[in-house]
């Protein structure tokens, strides 16, 4: 057992550092996991990021890893690294809540989600399931059933959503890695609000098998961490075709870890203009810092970005409603009222216009691919403002007052709409961070991660350590 101060030092250790310590024998996997569990017990009283802590499973797994190491059996690149998952991923033995009250009545999952299996195959250790916005229809990180996950940089503020518990747990030093999902911005928004790195890979890159869907046409899964190296390490462990996800594309695995140090030299980078123009002082400061650091002086217009957001909004409303139709008929009163009203309204969206939104998606994709013939990377803010207060209903967007719940993802929706890979990089402004999206062409996660790595190495992007 580590003493309290040594255990606390581990709180801000990166996944790669912990894996190296365990591989060298300086720490055992069990020591890392015990310190993690102790930290969760203590700090999560404030953060409310976990909905289940899988203590026994984590200890059993850590002991097994230590036994394997002692007997000279090979270990994976994440051996002994604790991680947690948004509670829409199946965890064997737990009901998959997806942030809801209704799913508490479901059978317990028989098998882990595909990405949990892959991370554990690489030696990582699952320590629990994380709070999230109900059924992922959320940008705030608030949850009427479990209470809001809280922002480690200011407990009165939102984490952003819907992967709010993932943002809080990583930013608060509870775990170095967390899985999230992103349909319209649900990894990138909490990464921005909580000041951490988030990776939303290309649509179809990572397997969604055995996770609770929201909008099949737009759902992505991805991860959050405090360094780019950790994102790459875990991402590489999770890549690969999976026939259990009908959207997962059968492509050759492209490990990005070895490519990070190639940096951003030679890449053609532009800042998204027009629709993406910053409208607050902190937003302007963040995008300027990144542009100056990368030597970018060029703007690029994203064609019909506002319409793309509207099309994503419409498809989300309609497909989300379709998924929930039976539950809306039988258990509507058990939903968060804000989610219920949106879902019922979505069921009433005209089908002809939803199909048109899917057609527009094709048109928009073709236009964006033309842009990528001329640039390698596009920079855009991840959120229009820093984390709002919990319960805050509106925020100022220039001179317009907009509802928080529907608009925190105003800059993320037009990007995930066509599945582009994005790394959200946190810019540690004072007093609160905000993230910038590094957007690349489909299947070029390597490029987005290289640019993120450069910004981190230059001290422009960093996950600030909170004082909780």
Q: Where do contacts with other proteins occur on this chain (CB under 8 A)?
A: 204, 217, 246-247, 304, 306-307, 309-311, 313-314, 317, 325, 328-329, 332-333, 337-338, 340-342, 344-350, 353-363, 365, 406
Catalytic status, residue 192:
no
Calpha distance 227→231 (Å, rounded):
7
Answer yes or no: are the C-beta atoms of 104 and 149 closer than 8 Å.
no
* Residue closer to other proteins (CB basis): 268 or 359: 359
* Residue closer to other proteins (CB basis): 68 or 347: 347
Answer yes or no: are the C-beta atoms of 231 and 459 closer than 8 Å.
no
Give the N- to C-terminal CA distance of the chain in Å, as an integer. Answer: 23
Choosing from 86, 163, 168, 318, the catalytic residue is: 86
Catalytic status, residue 186:
yes
* Residue closer to other proteins (CB basis): 190 or 442: 442
The residue written with tokens 């450069």 in the block is 454
CB of 348 to other proteins, least distance (A): 4
Residue 222 tokens read as 């991805």
Choosing from 28, 49, 166, 186, the catalytic residue is: 186
Residue 383 tokens read as 């959120």
Answer yes or no: are the C-beta atoms of 227 and 456 closer than 8 Å.
yes
CB of 230 to other proteins, least distance (A): 30
Burial grade of 272 (CB within 10 A; 0-12, 13-18, 19 or more): buried
Answer yes or no: are the C-beta atoms of 365 and 418 closer than 8 Å.
yes
The residue written with tokens 């008929």 in the block is 329
Answer yes or no: are the C-beta atoms of 445 and 202 closer than 8 Å.
yes
Choosing from 49, 100, 162, 168, the catalytic residue is: 162
Q: Please, where are the H alpha helices in 158-297?
A: 164-171, 188-194, 228-238, 281-293
Burial grade of 240 (CB within 10 A; 0-12, 13-18, 19 or more): middle
CB of 249 to other proteins, least distance (A): 9
* Residue closer to other proteins (CB basis): 50 or 364: 364
Catalytic status, residue 75:
no
CB count within 10 Å of CB 144 equals: 16
Strands 82-86 and 125-130, by their bridges, are: parallel
* Residue closer to other proteins (CB basis): 213 or 347: 347
CB of 391 to other proteins, least distance (A): 18
CB of 403 to other proteins, least distance (A): 9
CB of 332 to other proteins, least distance (A): 7
Calpha distance 176→169 (Å, rounded):
8
* Residue closer to other proteins (CB basis): 92 or 347: 347
Catalytic center residues: 86, 162, 186
């Amino acid at each position: 057992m580590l003493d309290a101060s040594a255990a606390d030092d581990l709180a801000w250790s990166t996944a790669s550092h912990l894996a190296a310590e365990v591989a060298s024998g300086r720490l055992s996997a069990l020591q890392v996991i015990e310190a993690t569990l102790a930290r969760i017990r203590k700090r999560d009283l404030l953060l409310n990021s976990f909905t289940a802590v899988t203590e026994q499973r984590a200890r059993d797994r850590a002991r097994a890893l230590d036994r394997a190491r002692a007997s000279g059996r090979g270990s994976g690149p994440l051996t002994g690294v604790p991680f947690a998952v948004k509670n829409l991923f199946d965890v064997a033995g737990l009901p998959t809540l997806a942030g809801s009250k209704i799913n508490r009545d479901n059978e317990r999952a028989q098998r882990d989600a595909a990405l949990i299996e892959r991370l554990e195959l690489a030696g990582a250790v699952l320590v629990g399931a994380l709070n999230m916005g109900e059924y992922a229809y959320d940008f705030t990180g608030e949850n009427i059933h479990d209470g809001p996950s809280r922002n480690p940089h200011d407990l009165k503020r939102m984490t952003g959503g819907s992967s709010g518990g993932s943002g809080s747990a990583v930013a608060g030093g509870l775990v170095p890695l967390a899985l999230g999902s992103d349909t319209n911005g649900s990894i990138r928004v909490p990464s921005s609000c909580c000041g951490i790195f988030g990776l939303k890979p290309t649509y179809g890159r990572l397997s969604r098998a055995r996770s609770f869907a929201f909008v099949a046409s737009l759902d992505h899964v991805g991860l959050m961490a405090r360094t780019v190296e950790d994102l790459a390490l875990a991402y590489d462990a999770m890549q690969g075709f999976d026939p259990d996800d009908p959207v997962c594309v059968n492509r050759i695995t492209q490990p990005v870890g070895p490519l990070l140090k190639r940096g951003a030299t030679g890449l053609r980078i532009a800042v998204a203009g027009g629709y993406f123009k910053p409208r607050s002082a902190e937003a302007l400061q963040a995008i300027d810092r990144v542009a100056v650091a990368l030597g970018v002086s060029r703007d690029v217009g994203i064609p019909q970005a506002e319409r793309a957001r509207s099309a994503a909004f419409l498809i989300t409303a309609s497909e989300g409603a379709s998924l929930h139709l039976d539950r809306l008929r039988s258990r509507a009163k058990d939903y968060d009222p804000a989610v219920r009203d949106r879902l019922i309204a979505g069921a009433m969206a005209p089908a002809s216009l939803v199909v048109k939104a899917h057609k527009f998606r094709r048109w928009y994709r073709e236009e964006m691919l033309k842009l990528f013939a001329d640039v390698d990377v596009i920079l855009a803010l991840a959120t229009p403002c820093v984390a709002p207060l919990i319960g805050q209903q509106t925020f100022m967007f220039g001179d317009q007052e907009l509802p928080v719940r529907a608009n925190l993802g105003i800059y993320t929706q037009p990007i995930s709409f066509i599945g582009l890979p994005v790394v959200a990089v946190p810019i540690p402004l004072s007093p609160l961070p905000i993230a910038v999206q590094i957007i690349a062409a489909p299947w070029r996660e390597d490029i987005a991660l290289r640019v993120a790595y450069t910004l981190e190495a230059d001290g422009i992007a960093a996950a600030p350590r909170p004082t909780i």
